[in-house]
């Protein structure tokens, strides 16, 4: 559902409607969050997410050589830089060489970069300032990692420290973007809140990394499980999804989940303390938090599923139960109670 933005300069209706309609095709989880949020936050997060997704699509494209990826990400960073001469259409012209013949929703999004950037430029100056820094850091960080791992033509994370660095660029920056928008006009300790927002984003990213090992390797030629952890388990990164190593790789999946769990308390504290404009903000961000808690439960119970074909995810019935429960009574106490319930077992309607 698209709502008319309030307290922003007039957004182009057709462009904004397109942005809202596109999100479900590229992320069902973010689409849920955006739909729960009220305006103007709903449209701000929608636009910011799509901009970040454009960069992710370039980084994930296995058919683009690393040097070309780095160049394209640099040009996209220029699009976000108000002092750089590169405009969105120039970026699209440059990237069109690499567009698939049969583009999916992610590449259709890339082709519509000018439309997304128009919606961004039509927000207020304060909104753009709050969003621009984290978005540019994400784009620059993805370029840094592609360049660092250019010799393998795919990311091969080496250590836990490098894994956390990657999560900072890929998701911690998104947590900072959310925080920057949330604290606009609020009297809070923004720096402390940004640290917790960073933990919130890192938790979600680590859970995605743990559950998507097979797809990341087979589809994007990326291995985010640290080679140091895999080596301790007797597995080479290039064999992470081989059937004969499935049990050993599963121990590293479980280790990654355990590491993700260390960010959960700060992520929950973020939800408790962020000055959301209303309770719907708590509900909106409580949903992905609780879905992550449930996914960690499933991964802990069956970690080998993450290195085999097929998705590791919680049942749709439980997803709907989580959404219903947190939106019905969006309070910090509810989030804490639901966290304990979801961690213990599937939540029922």
List of long-range contacts for 50-54, beta carbons under 8 Å, 24+ apart:
50/19, 50/22, 50/23, 50/26, 50/109, 50/116, 51/80, 51/116, 51/117, 51/120, 51/131, 51/135, 52/135, 52/138, 52/173, 52/174, 53/26, 53/27, 53/106, 53/109, 54/109, 54/110, 54/113, 54/116
Position 12 scores a pLDDT of 54
- Written as six digits, the tokens of 77 are 């960073």
- Written as six digits, the tokens of 205 are 């990213």
Contact between 291 and 347 (Cβ < 8 Å):
no
- Written as six digits, the tokens of 162 are 């490098």
- The DSSP call for residue 53 is H
- Dihedral sign, CA of 313, 318, 321, 326? negative
Position 176 scores a pLDDT of 95
Give one DSSP letter per residue of 189-232, joined into a string: -HHHHHHHHHHHHHHHHHHHHHHTHHHHHHHH--B-S-HHHHHH
- Written as six digits, the tokens of 267 are 């992520």
CA distance 326 to 328: 5
CA distance 277 to 43: 14
Q: What is the mean pLDDT of each run of 10 residues along the chain (349 residues)?
A: 40 84 94 94 96 97 95 98 95 96 95 97 95 98 97 94 98 95 85 92 98 95 97 98 97 98 97 88 96 98 95 92 96 97 94
Q: Which of 343, 340, 338 is nearest to 324 (CA)?
A: 338
- C-beta atoms surrounding 191 within 10 Å: 9
- Written as six digits, the tokens of 202 are 């890192």
- The DSSP call for residue 244 is G
Position 179 scores a pLDDT of 94
CA distance 328 to 198: 27
Give one DSSP letter per residue of 311-344, joined into a string: -----HHHHHHHHHHHHHS-SHHHHHHHHHHHHH
Burial code (b: 16+ CB inside 10 Å, e: under 16) for 27-48 equals bebbbbbbbbbebbbbbbbbbb
Domains of the chain: 10-125 (no CATH), 155-349 (1.10.600.10)
List of long-range contacts for 184-189, beta carbons under 8 Å, 24+ apart:
184/126, 184/127, 184/130, 186/275, 188/273, 188/275
CA distance 96 to 87: 15
CA distance 100 to 50: 19
CA distances (Å), 229 to each of 207, 225, 255, in order?
A: 16, 7, 8
Q: Looking only at Cα atoms, what is the longest distance across the chain? A: 58
């Amino acid at each position: 559902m698209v709502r008319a933005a309030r307290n922003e300069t007039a957004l182009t209706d057709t462009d904004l409607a397109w942005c809202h309609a596109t999100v479900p095709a590229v992320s069902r989880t973010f689409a849920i969050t955006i739909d729960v949020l009220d305006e103007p936050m709903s449209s701000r997060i929608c636009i910011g997410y799509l901009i970040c997704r454009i960069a992710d699509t370039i980084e994930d494209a296995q058919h683009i050589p690393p040097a070309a990826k780095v160049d394209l990400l640099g040009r996209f960073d220029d699009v976000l830089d108000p002092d750089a001469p590169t405009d969105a259409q120039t970026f699209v012209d440059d990237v069109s060489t690499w567009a698939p013949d049969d583009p999916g929703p992610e590449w259709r999004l890339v082709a519509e970069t000018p439309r997304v950037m128009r919606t961004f430029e039509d927000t207020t100056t304060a909104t753009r300032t709050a969003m621009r820094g984290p978005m540019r850091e994400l784009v620059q960080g993805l370029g840094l990692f592609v360049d660092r791992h250019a010799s393998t033509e795919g990311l091969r994370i080496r250590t836990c420290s490098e894994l956390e660095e990657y999560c900072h660029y890929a998701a911690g920056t998104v947590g900072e973007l959310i925080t920057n928008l949330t604290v606009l006009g609020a009297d809070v300790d923004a720096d402390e809140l940004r640290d917790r927002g960073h933990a919130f984003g890192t938790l979600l990213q680590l859970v995605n990394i743990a559950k998507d090992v097979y797809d990341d390797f087979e589809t994007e030629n990326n291995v985010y499980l640290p080679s140091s952890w895999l080596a301790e388990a007797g597995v080479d990164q290039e064999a992470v999804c081989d059937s004969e190593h499935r049990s050993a790789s599963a121990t590293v999946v479980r280790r990654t989940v355990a590491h993700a769990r260390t960010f959960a308390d700060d992520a929950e504290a973020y939800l408790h303390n962020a000055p959301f404009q209303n309770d719907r903000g708590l509900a909106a961000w409580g949903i992905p938090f609780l879905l992550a808690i449930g996914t960690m439960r499933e991964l802990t119970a069956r970690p080998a599923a993450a290195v085999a074909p097929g998705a590791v995810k919680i049942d749709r019935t439980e997803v709907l139960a989580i959404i219903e429960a947190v939106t019905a009574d969006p309070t910090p106490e509810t989030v804490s109670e639901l966290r304990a319930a979801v961690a213990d077992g599937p939540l029922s309607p």
